[in-house]
A and B are shown apart, each in its own frame.
Chain A
Amino acid sequence: MKKLILSIQSLLLGLSIYAQDIAPQTERVATGLRSDAKIYVVVAVLVTILAGLFVYIVRLDKKISRMEKS
């Protein structure tokens, strides 16, 4: 029994060391939209605004087309 607890303890200890080893690294290595100094976030925001404006202008265009038909 004592042997088992000890072995689990050593395993957990190993895990905790592993976790500490990996934690700062996952913070440093930015992935996806966070990579390249988070410039992709800016691109995402701008594309969203642009898309919103396009939706707006397309709807306006359609509305005028409807008015022209009636």
Chain B
Amino acid sequence: MRGYWWKILTIVLLTYTFIAGFLIPVPDVGNLEQTIRNLFFHVPMWFGQLTLITVSLVYSILYLRKPEARHDIYASEFAKTGIVFGMLGLVTGMIWANYTWGAPWNNDPKQLGAAIALLIYLAYFILRNSMTDIDKRARVSAVYNIFAYFIYVPMIMVLPRMVESLHPGGKGVEGNPGFGGQDLDATMRTVFWPAVIGWILLGIWITTLRLRLQLLEEKKTYTSLAS
């Protein structure tokens, strides 16, 4: 129980999200109608991604402080799952935008920022795979990962707030009446935060599975080299 309680929590929270997310009454906001329920599914993708790449950042810093191969593997696997979440966030956002903003791609600052940030993270893997020397790869990609994180955060969280954006929270929300923190009503909060936690935990779960496989592989090559 000690080791896997959070996996049960993941299942409970996400099942709750998928049921309550469709059944609770939602406020009528602009032209969103029922699509406001996407808040329970699209937004947690970004919360999940931010969490995963933050963990990745921590392991990159740890690697630079103490170069252990384990830290490098952790950093890259957390970034990988983070990218998957980011891509899902981008695609779900485009579907939602098509029906509420009129087109899948509106050159919204947040859309652009997210797309650029994803490309920067994809470059992280190209960089990693371009090097055969394991130690060099780990060191260079740790440095790059730190750089990528500190480009990503302004791209997705700071810039969209300083310019006009269709997303909630931007300057001037013409065309789309956004819902900021105060517009998210109490009933929606009861689904939104469990959803966020559930998706974050699922991301961590998937990453730990990949990590365990990776470490097993590592052990196998090591033992075969030793024998």
Q: Is the CB of A64 within 8 A of B11?
A: no
The answer for the CA separation of A50 and B19 in the assembled complex, in Å, is 11
Return B204 CB to nearest CB of chain A, in Å: 12
Asked if A39 lies at the interface with its beta carbon under 8 angstroms from chain B, I say yes
The answer for the CA separation of A57 and B204 in the assembled complex, in Å, is 12
Q: Is the CB of B22 within 8 A of A68?
A: no
Interface size grouping (class) on chain A:
10 to 19
B209: chain A residues at CB < 8 Å are 57, 60-61, 64
Q: Chain B: which residue is nearest A65 at the CB level?
A: B212
* Binary flags per residue of A23-62, CB closer than 8 Å to B gives 1, else 0: 0000000000000000110110011001100100110110
Label chain B's interface by main secondary structure. Answer: helix
B205: chain A residues at CB < 8 Å are 57, 61
Asked if A22 lies at the interface with its beta carbon under 8 angstroms from chain B, I say no
The answer for the CA separation of A37 and B14 in the assembled complex, in Å, is 24
Per the CB 8 Å criterion, the residue count for chain B at the interface is 14
B14: chain A residues at CB < 8 Å are 50, 54
The answer for the CA separation of A62 and B11 in the assembled complex, in Å, is 16
Q: Is the CB of A46 within 8 A of B11?
A: no
Asked if A67 lies at the interface with its beta carbon under 8 angstroms from chain B, I say yes
Q: Is the CB of A64 within 8 A of B213?
A: yes
Task: Identify which of residues 11-42 in chain B touch chain A, using a CB-to-CB cut-off of 8 Å.
Answer: 11, 14-15, 18-19, 22-23
The answer for the CA separation of A17 and B15 in the assembled complex, in Å, is 47
Return A65 CB to nearest CB of chain B, in Å: 8
Task: Identify which of residues 160-209 in chain B touch chain A, using a CB-to-CB cut-off of 8 Å.
Answer: 205-206, 209
A39: chain B residues at CB < 8 Å are 22-23
Q: Is the CB of A64 within 8 A of B7?
A: no
- 6 new A-B pairs (CB below 8 Å) besides A60-B209, A61-B7, A67-B216? A43-B19, A43-B23, A46-B18, A46-B22, A50-B15, A58-B7
Name B's A-contacting residues (CB within 8 A): 7, 11, 14-15, 18-19, 22-23, 205-206, 209, 212-213, 216
10 contacts between A and B (CB under 8 A): A39-B23, A43-B18, A46-B18, A50-B15, A50-B18, A57-B206, A57-B209, A58-B7, A64-B212, A64-B213
